[in-house]
Chain A
C-alpha cells in the first residue's frame, strides 16, 4: 500500500469512526455553509424576484411617435425583437383619437389589450376585457354617460365628422384611481379600422431589467427604429433604490454570518484538536514530523469542509427556495457556480480555522502528553 492510500485511509477512519465528533464539526461547518449559501442565493435572486414584483407598477420603457417618422405596429414589433424574450414581460402599442359617444366628446385609446394586461397588471376591470366590437370604459367616462357593462354605445371619430357612428358593447368598467379612468379603451385593430392607417402613438414595454440594462436597450431601440425611446424614470429609479438598499442589507447580514461561521468553526476545531493532543504526541513519538501532523489535520479539515460545504450548498438552496416561495411565491433558480463557491469557501474556512490550533498542537512535547501531563 502506498503512503497516499494509507493517508486517505487514516483520514476516512478518523472521520467515519469518530462519528459524534464528526457530527459536531460537520454541523458547525454545514450550518455556516447553509446560511451563507442561502443568503447569497437570495442576494443574487432577490433582484430578479423583486424585478418581477416591480413590473406590476407598469411599463418601464416607452417608445413615442416622431412626427416625421410615425410609429407603427411593425416598428414596435421590430423594437420588441431586440429585447431578450426571457426578460420581456409584455409590450403594448396604443393609438389615441378624439371620439364622440352619443354626441359627447371623449378620448379613445386603441390598445393591444392582451399585452396591456401584462404591462398594466394593476388595472382593475369591473366586467370583462373587451373583444372585437366591445369597449372598456374608464370609470369617469362611464359616470358621464351613465353607462354600465352590457350597455350598447354609438361611437364615431371626431375628426371624421361625416363618418357613420359604429355600435360597440360595453364589456367592462376600468378602475385605476388615475387618469386612465378618463379614457375609452378598445382593441387597437378596431380603432385602426376607423382611422384607416397603421400609425400608433406610443408603445409601452415592461421589461425585467436594471436601469443600466434598460438604458442600453433604449439606445439600441433608438438606433434600430429611429423613434423616441425613453425610460419611465419614476419606476426604474424606485426599483433601483429599493433593490440597492435591500442588497446592501443582505450583504451586511452575509458578512456577519461569514464572520460568525468562522468563529464557530474555529472554536469547534480548537476543541477537536485539543482533545487529540495525546494522539498527536503518540504520532510524534512514532516519528511523525510537525509537517506530517499538520498535513494530516489539514487533510481532515479539507474533507470536513468538503462534506460541510456540500451539505450547506444543498440545504442553503432549500432554505433560499423556501424563503422565496414564502415571500415571492416563486422558486429560486439553481446556481451551480454558487454551489461550487459554497463548497470551496467551506473548505477554505475550515482549513483556515484549523491552522492555528493544529500548528500549536503539532508543537506538543510527546514525552509530556504520553505521560498524561
Chain B
C-alpha cells in the first residue's frame, strides 16, 4: 500500500503554546484512521493542517508525496478542492441551497456541476427523495449525509471528518458509521477525528493525541 499522507516532525506553535509537538504519522492509501484525544489536545489543529486549512510552524506535510508545508493560501485552496473531502460536526450546509445544490456546490468549485452525478451521490447516502429539500427541512442525520455526499462527489484522495457523529442521535450515528464503512470498503482513505471510542473502534487504527503529542497508537481488529 502506498503512503497517501505523511506528517514529518510537525509542530504548531501559538505564542508560548505548542498545540502540536513533533508529530510523525503515516496514512496508507485506503486506510481508515481515527484520531482521538481530549479537548485541547491538538486534534483540531491537526485536522486543520491535514485538511490544508492551516500550515505547521515546523515540519513537513506530504500529500501523495507533495510537500504542503510551504504552499501559499491559494495553492492550499487548490489542494483542498482537488484532493480532500471535508465532513464537519455541524454539517455546514449552505442554508439557501437544496440538498442537491449543496452537493453540486463542491462540483462547481472542483470542475463542472453535474446534476445527475450529484443526484447519484445523494442516492448513495439514501437521500435521493430529499434532493430538493433545503437544509432546514432535513433532520440532523440527513444533513450529515448530504455533507458526506458532498465530500465524496469529487472522488477526493482523503476524506477528513471532524466529529461526524457528534451532533447525531444513536440511529443516525449508526447510519453514518455504515456509510464510513462502505467508503472504506470502496478503498477510500478516511481520517476521522472523534471523541467517541465507539466510532473509533470501527477504524483500522486509532492514534491518540495528548498535549499535542502522539501518545498511543491502537490497531483495531
Contact = CB atoms under 8 A, between A and B. Distances in A.
A286 B53 contact: no
B74 A289 contact: yes
Interface string B80-96: 11100010101010111
A18 B96 CA distance: 7
Contacts, number: 75
Interface residues on B, range: 20 to 34
Contacts of A290: 74
Contacts of B200: none
Interface residues on A, range: 20 to 34
A234 interface: no
A367 interface: yes
B114 A14 contact: no
Contacts of A1: 104, 112-115
A5 B104 CA distance: 12
Given A13-B96, A14-B96, A17-B96, A285 B80 contact: yes
Interface stretch (A46-54, A62-70, A224-232, A276-284): A276-284
A286 B112 contact: no
B106 A286 contact: yes
B86 A13 contact: no
Contacts of A17: 96, 134
Interface string B95-117: 11110010011101110111100
Contacts of A3: 108, 112-113
B104 A6 contact: yes
B54 interface: yes
Contacts of B105: 10, 283, 286
Given A1-B113, A1-B114, A367-B48, A282 B92 contact: yes
Contact of A292 (B95, B101, B109): B109
A235 to B, nearest CB: 62
Contact of A370 (B92, B95, B113): B92
Contact of A288 (B54, B77, B104): B77
Contacts of B82: 287
Interface string A3-23: 101110110011001100000
Interface of A: 1-3, 5-7, 9-10, 13-14, 17-18, 278-279, 282-290, 292, 365-367, 370-372
Interface of B: 44, 48, 51, 53-54, 74, 77-78, 80-82, 86, 88, 90, 92, 94-98, 101, 104-106, 108-110, 112-115, 134, 150
13 contacts: A3-B112, A3-B113, A5-B113, A10-B108, A13-B98, A279-B95, A285-B86, A286-B105, A286-B106, A286-B109, A287-B81, A287-B106, A370-B90
